[in-house]
């Protein structure tokens, strides 16, 4: 069996440049970049000149002729479903950036096709691989704060292009098929469902609070765009077992010092900090037996390991394909997340509470990867 997973990347944009192309170089013990495809073949060639592999301007040509085991789909949201399905039909494993698909029925199709063909679909965001998620799941599963009764999640920003350092035109994030729910909510929802399983029902309100935006950096700098998807979403959800929660997500928050998640249990409270991942945790306990109470920081081992990095989804795919390990960031969880997002729009439009039809059972906390960092795996 091969000792490296041969990767073809489709979409030579920001995600490729920031995360996945550097990962193929720094983690070359597990990954081999053999192809890069972009509608601008000259741009694809710029990356293959730097990182290796063959450039392609046509996706189906790459699937047919490139020496690849798997495809990393890093294109805009609206293209994900078709490109993932095409790759699976060609017998290729897949890594797909968020969201896996736009519609729940398409997500179900991905799940069914991947299982039918015994192929792996590794899904971003990488929360289920992160050391902070592992530690959070451990603490909750061991009953440190008792039964969780109330959850608060805040997963909001001002959106891409609102800060310096935009390498490409991010204006499409404010159009139909994208938006804060698709781009931001996945982080909080993967964290939530990985911790407590599937959501049972929800009720939502959504609006467009900033209808016109000016791109602050990148190729679209100074351009005014019209947002045609809600940028301000607030949801109340029911996890079952008499546990309720609230979530805000969108592109209307310039900055906040509040935790990204708060878990209120019968025996204590956990507050989670970090925009995309669990980078810091605070624990409150009030122990009546010992008269010990107050806040304390929770140690999170492994934050300097390769599993704490965004392209860890590539490593999980390599482990699954090459070593037969379970894929912990697979499509069934993401299908449930996509149904949640879809039902937000249904509820916001109807003004009614809606039930989810799918479910998800998370793995035990000790099934998540863990390692001590080795210098050779660090991203510079």
Q: Answer yes or no: do 47 and 89 share one domain.
A: yes
**8 A C-beta contact, residue 214 and residue 224:** yes
CA 94/CA 120 separation, integer angstroms: 6
Confidence of residue 275 (pLDDT cuts 50, 70, 90): confident
Range of the domain at 148: 131-300+336-355
Q: Assess if residue 166 is contained within a domain.
A: yes
pLDDT recorded at residue 377: 38
Q: How many other CB atoms are found less than 10 A from the CB of residue 176? A: 12
Q: Answer yes or no: do 162 and 293 share one domain.
A: yes
Helix (H, G, I), strand (E, B) or coil at 20: helix
pLDDT recorded at residue 2: 67
Residue 158 pLDDT > 90: no
Q: Assess if residue 85 is contained within a domain.
A: yes
Q: Answer yes or no: do 321 and 196 share one domain.
A: no
Residue 270 sits in a domain whose CATH number is: 3.30.360.10
Q: Assess if residue 25 is contained within a domain.
A: yes
Which among 343, 309, 379 is positioned nearest to 233, based on CA atoms?
343
Which among 12, 79, 88, 72 is positioned nearest to 312, based on CA atoms?
72
The H-assigned helical ranges of the chain are: 14-15, 21-26, 41-51, 59-65, 80-89, 104-117, 131-141, 179-196, 312-323, 331-350
Which among 18, 88, 28 is positioned nearest to 52, based on CA atoms?
28
Q: Answer yes or no: do 179 and 324 share one domain.
A: no
Q: Assess if residue 84 is contained within a domain.
A: yes
Q: Answer yes or no: do 234 and 320 share one domain.
A: no
Q: Assess if residue 368 is contained within a domain.
A: no
CA 300/CA 134 separation, integer angstroms: 9
Q: Which long-range contacts (CB under 8 A, 24 or more apart) does 295-298 make?
A: 298/135, 298/139, 298/270
> How many domains are contained in the chain?
2
Helix (H, G, I), strand (E, B) or coil at 198: coil
Helix (H, G, I), strand (E, B) or coil at 12: coil
Q: Answer yes or no: do 262 and 318 share one domain.
A: no
Q: Answer yes or no: do 54 and 164 share one domain.
A: no
pLDDT digits (tens, 9 = 90+) for 224-270: 888 888 999 999 999 999 999 999 998 999 989 999 999 999 999 99
Q: Which residue has the higher pLDDT, 171 or 379?
A: 171
Confidence of residue 75 (pLDDT cuts 50, 70, 90): very high
Q: Assess if residue 61 is contained within a domain.
A: yes
Q: Answer yes or no: do 322 and 345 share one domain.
A: no
Q: Assess if residue 361 is contained within a domain.
A: no
Share above pLDDT 70 across residues of the chain, in percent, rounded to a whole number: 96
Q: Answer yes or no: do 104 and 144 share one domain.
A: no
pLDDT digits (tens, 9 = 90+) for 26-62: 899 999 999 999 999 999 999 999 999 999 999 999 9
Verdict on whether the full-model pTM lies above 0.75? yes
**Cα angle at 310 between 333 and 101, to 5 degrees?**
40
Q: Answer yes or no: do 322 and 348 share one domain.
A: no
């Amino acid at each position: 069996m091969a000792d490296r997973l041969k990767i073809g990347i489709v979409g030579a944009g920001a995600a490729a440049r920031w995360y996945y192309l550097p990962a193929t170089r720094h983690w070359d013990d597990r990954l081999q970049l053999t192809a890069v495809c972009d509608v601008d073949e000259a741009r694809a060639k710029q990356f293959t000149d730097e990182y290796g592999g063959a450039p392609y301007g046509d996706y189906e040509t790459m699937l047919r002729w490139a020496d690849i085991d798997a495809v990393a789909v890093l294109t805009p949201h609206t293209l994900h479903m078709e490109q993932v399905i095409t790759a699976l039909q060609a017998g290729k494993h897949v890594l797909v950036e968020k969201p896996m698909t736009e519609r729940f029925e398409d997500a179900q199709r991905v799940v069914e096709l991947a299982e039918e063909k015994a192929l792996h679909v590794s899904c971003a965001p990488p929360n289920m691989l992160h050391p902070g998620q592992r530690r959070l799941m451990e603490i909750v599963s061991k009953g440190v704060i008792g039964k969780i009764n109330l959850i608060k999640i805040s997963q909001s920003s001002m959106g891409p292009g609102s800060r310096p350092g935009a390498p490409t035109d991010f204006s499409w994030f404010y159009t139909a098929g994208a938006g804060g729910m698709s781009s931001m909510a996945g982080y909080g929802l993967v964290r939530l469902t990985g911790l407590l399983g599937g959501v049972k029902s929800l009720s939502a309100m959504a609006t467009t609070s900033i209808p016109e935006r000016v791109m602050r950096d990148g190729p679209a700098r100074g351009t005014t765009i019209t947002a045609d998807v809600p940028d301000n979403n607030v949801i109340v959800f029911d996890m079952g077992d008499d546990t309720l929660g609230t979530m805000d997500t969108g592109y209307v928050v310039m900055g906040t010092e509040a935790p990204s998640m708060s878990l209120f249990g019968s025996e204590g409270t956990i507050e989670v900090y970090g925009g995309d991942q669990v980078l810091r945790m605070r624990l409150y306990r009030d122990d009546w037996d010992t008269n010990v109470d107050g806040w304390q920081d929770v140690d999170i081992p492994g934050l300097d390991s390769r599993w704490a990095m965004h392209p860890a989804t590539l490593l999980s795919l390599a482990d699954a394909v090459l070593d037969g390990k379970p894929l912990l960031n697979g499509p069934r969880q993401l299908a449930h997340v996509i149904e949640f997002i879809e039902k937000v729009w249904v509820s916001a439009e109807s003004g009614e509470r809606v039930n989810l039809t799918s479910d998800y059972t998370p793995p035990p906390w000790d099934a998540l990867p863990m390692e001590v960092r080795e210098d050779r795996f660090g991203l510079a």
